[in-house]
Amino acid sequence: MIQMKNVSKIYLNGARALVDVNLKIDKGEFVFLVGPSGAGKSTIIKLFYRDETPTRGQVQINGKNLVRMKDREVPYLRRSIGVIFQDFKLLPNKTVFENVAFALEVIGVSKSEVKTRTRVTLDLVGLAGKEKSFPHELSGGEQQRVCVARAIINNPALLVADEPTGNLDPETAWGIMDLLYNINKRGTTVVMATHARNIVDKMQKRVIAIESGRVARDEEKGGYGYDA
Amino acid sequence: MTLNSTLYVLRETGHSMKRNPWLSIASVLTVMVSLVILGFSVFFLANASNMAKSFESQLEIATFVQSSATPAQVQALQSQIKTMPGVASVTLVTKEQALVDFGKTMGGSQSSLVTDLGGTNPFPDKLTVKATDPKTVEALANKVSALAGVDKVRYGQGYVDKLLEFTQWLRWIGLGVVVAFGIAAIVLISINVKMNVFSRRREIQIMKLVGASNSFVRWPFLIEGLALGLVGGALAAGIVGVGYNWITNYVQSTLTFLPVVQNMLLFRQVTVGLLLVGMAMGAIGSGVSLQKFLRNS
Ligand SMILES: Nc1ncnc2c1ncn2[C@@H]1O[C@H](COP(=O)(O)OP(=O)(O)OP(=O)(O)O)[C@@H](O)[C@H]1O
Ligand SMILES: [Mg+2]
């Protein structure tokens, strides 16, 4: 599913975010990316949906080489990847319904199909009844769920999440994790960067630890690992 | 582009026009001004060249025959000139006719006029030669004056050239003004679109992150530019149409001797042309800002 070979990333300002990273993630896996702040977790995730390109090395998703990929192919890559952003990236002047439907409108799905699929997805994330609300009228957890709904509405083969529980109370955070767990059960590969120790420890999934831009640890059914 | 995307695009276009109405109005007005000038210039030039033509067609070469020539010789000369290439017509005004005409303008009787003029008719026989092409008048006049029996020729030397030169100048000045305003309009539209792109950059970023293609992002802005240009063009077409009608009616009722072009085909061509040029300005204006924006995002 995902393959990174000798990937290094140096940002324009000279920051060395990744150093010679090698990774392989299979279809259907659930993977946590952990590590201290500034380690390079977000950078890895951005490489997946080609928000960034590596300075050296290769990134492959579903056999597609993202380095050699032409700009006009990028939209198609992104349609096959759902992204949950830490800052939600919702449009403030659009309702919950419109924000989620957006991901379908953008790719030209018919109006009636947009309607039914958006309904179903909002139901799935527990936002039925909030369709007409605007983002600023929602709690942080509800906004995060809108973001999840938008990320999964296309039935992506890969779901990447950058600290999706970052600003949420434990109970709401577990609600989001439930969602991701179920989506993964349906066959979607999930990669999630997080600092949430208890979540990582409890889920018993593969854990990849990044430190100073390098893979420091990679274990099946791992724990968060760092001392509190 | 599916129907759904199209509807989406149209909705977005409406939103963005509402966002900064003053800039939209300014863009529309500059388009309008530049196209009004363009439209009137076209009509003005059409009239100028029409006028030049009608003046030119009145241009004739007055050929004065030597006073020693007999009527038979005059007639031979007339038919000789008639066969020359580039000659449309030759009419004879005999010295007697000239005297009559002169008398008419002076009043009084013919016989007393001859007496007053010293007992002889001072007028020579005159052949009025009309050329088929006004540009050949000068060459033709030279040829005619070289013929045997011709005393001298007179024609509107330099007159044609000056008129043509004048319309030529008008053409350049009109073009210059139109281009200047056209550039201003394109710049304003591109600022307009750029501001909308800027105010929606977050939205655009998110659109692209969820997989919108560049063209999908581009359409609303392109259509916005087109709409601005089209509205400007339509206003200009209206102003030029109504204005030109009014002016021609006015001129025809007051300056009846001035020939005025009232050509429905030209009228339609100019109107449609203004709409098209307006849309083109809109498309160029938004295209310029989008090209830059989408390349580095
Ligand atoms: N756009 C950028 N331009 C320049 N440097 C950047 C950029 N994004 C990240 N960096 C740098 O790259 C390094 C890795 O950043 P990254 O965001 O990947 O860390 P992270 O592991 O996600 O941290 P956190 O846990 O705090 O989110 C940091 O040193 C950061 O300052
Ligand atoms: Mg991060």
DSSP-based three-state secondary structure for A61? strand
pLDDT for the residue A184: 95
Which ligand 1 atom lies nearest to the CA of residue A163? Answer: 27
Which amino acid, residue B48?
Answer: A
pLDDT for the residue B74: 86
User: Which value, to the nearest 10 degrees, does the dihedral of the CA atoms of residues A172, A178, A184, A185 take?
Assistant: -170
Residue A21 CB–ligand 1 contact under 6 Å: no
Q: How far is the CA of A178 from the centre of ligand 2 (A)?
A: 22
Q: How far off is chain A from B232, nearest CA to CA, in Å?
A: 30
**Boundaries of domain holding B91:** 60-154
Model confidence at B295, pLDDT cuts 50, 70, 90, reads: low
Provide the phi-psi class of A38: left if phi over 0, else alpha when psi is between -120 and 50, else beta. Answer: left
* Residue B157, pLDDT above cutoff 60: no
Average pLDDT over residues B100-105: 72
Q: How far is the CA of B269 from the centre of ligand 2 (A)?
A: 61
Residue A17 CB–ligand 1 contact under 6 Å: yes
Q: What is the pLDDT along chain A (228 residues), one digit of tens a residue?
A: 999 999 999 999 999 999 999 999 999 999 999 999 999 999 999 999 999 999 999 999 999 999 999 988 999 999 999 999 988 999 888 899 999 998 998 888 888 999 999 999 999 888 999 999 999 999 988 999 999 999 999 999 999 999 998 878 888 889 889 999 999 999 999 999 999 999 999 999 999 999 999 999 999 988 888 765
Q: Bridge partners of A209? A: A34, A217
pLDDT for the residue B161: 65
Pocket test for ligand 1, best of A42, A47, A165 (most atoms within 8 A of CB): A42
Last residue of a domain, one of B154, B177, B192: B154
Contact call for B211 and A83, based on CB within 8 A: no
Q: How far is the CA of A79 from the centre of ligand 2 (A)?
A: 22
Q: Bridge partners of B63? A: B127, B153
The pair of structure tokens assigned to B9 is 């695009």
Range list of β-strands (E), chain B: 60-65, 87-93, 126-131, 150-154
Q: Which of B45-49, B59-63, B122-126 has the lowest average pLDDT?
A: B45-49
Residue A37 CB–ligand 1 contact under 6 Å: yes
Q: What is the mean pLDDT of chain B?
A: 78
Is the same domain home to B51 and B65? Answer: no
Is the same domain home to B50 and B69? Answer: no
B80 vs A77, which has greater pLDDT? A77
Model confidence at B23, pLDDT cuts 50, 70, 90, reads: confident
Residues 6+ apart with CB under 8 A from A142: A127, A130
Which amino acid, residue B290?
Answer: L
Number of domains in chain B: 2
What is the per-residue pLDDT across B243-275, written as a single tens digit (0 to 9) for each?
988 888 888 787 766 667 777 788 888 889 999
Query: H or E element: which one contains B147?
Result: none
Which ligand 1 atom lies nearest to the CA of residue A33? Answer: 21
Is the same domain home to B47 and B169? Answer: yes
Last residue of a domain, one of B99, B128, B154: B154
Distance (Å, rounded) from C-alpha B150 to C-alpha B125? 10
Q: What percent of chain B has pLDDT over 70?
A: 78
- B-chain residues within 8 Å CB-CB of A150? 210
Predicted TM-score of the model (pTM)? 0.68
Closest of B88, B113, B297, B142 to residue B207, by C-alpha: B297
Is the same domain home to B149 and B267? Answer: no
Q: How far off is chain A from B180, nearest CA to CA, in Å?
A: 37
pLDDT for the residue B53: 65
Is the same domain home to B99 and B167? Answer: no
pLDDT for the residue B47: 77
Contact B27, B227 (CB under 8 A): no
Is the same domain home to B15 and B39? Answer: yes
- B-chain residues within 8 Å CB-CB of A89? 205-206, 209
Is the same domain home to B80 and B134? Answer: yes
Is the same domain home to B83 and B192? Answer: no
Q: How far is the CA of A44 from the centre of ligand 1 (A)?
A: 10
pLDDT for the residue A81: 95
Which amino acid, residue B192?
Answer: N
* Residue B9, pLDDT above cutoff 80: no
Q: How far is CA A200 from CA A25, A164, A197, in A?
A: 17, 13, 5
Is the same domain home to B143 and B201? Answer: no
Residue A13 CB–ligand 1 contact under 6 Å: yes
Contact B218, B193 (CB under 8 A): no
Interface residue of A61, A85, A104, A105 to substitute, partner B, most B CBs within 10 Å: A105
Last residue of a domain, one of B96, B130, B154: B154
The pair of structure tokens assigned to A96 is 């919950």
Is the same domain home to B202 and B96? Answer: no
Contact A30, A19 (CB under 8 A): no
Please provide the DSSP assignment of B46-98 as one string: HHHHHHHHHHHHT-EEEEEEPTT--HHHHHHHHHHHHTSTTEEEEEEE-HHHH
Interface residue of B202, B210, B217 to substitute, partner A, most A CBs within 10 Å: B210
Contact B124, B66 (CB under 8 A): yes
Is the same domain home to B87 and B136? Answer: yes
Q: How far is the CA of A17 from the centre of ligand 1 (A)?
A: 6
Distance (Å, rounded) from C-alpha B207 to C-alpha B218? 11
Q: How many CB pairs under 8 A join A and B?
A: 54
Whose atoms come closest to the Cα of A211: which ligand?
1
Distance (Å, rounded) from C-alpha B129 to C-alpha B154? 10
CB atoms within 10 A of CB A219: 11
Rounded to the nearest angstrom, the gap between the alpha carbon of residue A38 and the centroid of all alpha carbons in its chain is 18
Distance (Å, rounded) from C-alpha B59 to C-alpha B41? 26
Kindly report the CATH number assigned to the domain that includes residue B132.
Answer: 3.30.70.3040
The residue of chain A nearest to residue B208, with distances taken between CA atoms, is A75
Distance (Å, rounded) from C-alpha A35 to C-alpha A20? 16
Q: Give the pairing type, strands A206-211 and B150-154.
A: unpaired
Could you identify the residue written with the tokens 């099946």?
A220
Is the same domain home to B170 and B271? Answer: yes
What is the per-residue pLDDT across B177-227, written as a single tens digit (0 to 9) for each?
778 877 877 887 788 778 777 877 888 888 889 888 888 888 878 888 888
Please provide the DSSP assignment of A123-155 as one string: HHTT-TT-TT--GGGS-HHHHHHHHHHHHHTT-
- A→B contacts (Cβ < 8 Å), by residue, are 49, 51, 71-72, 75-79, 83, 89, 91, 102-103, 105-111, 114, 150, 154
- B→A contacts (Cβ < 8 Å), by residue, are 1-2, 4-5, 7-8, 202-203, 205-214, 216
Whose atoms come closest to the Cα of A33: which ligand?
1
- B-chain residues within 8 Å CB-CB of A154? 211
Contact call for A107 and B211, based on CB within 8 A: yes
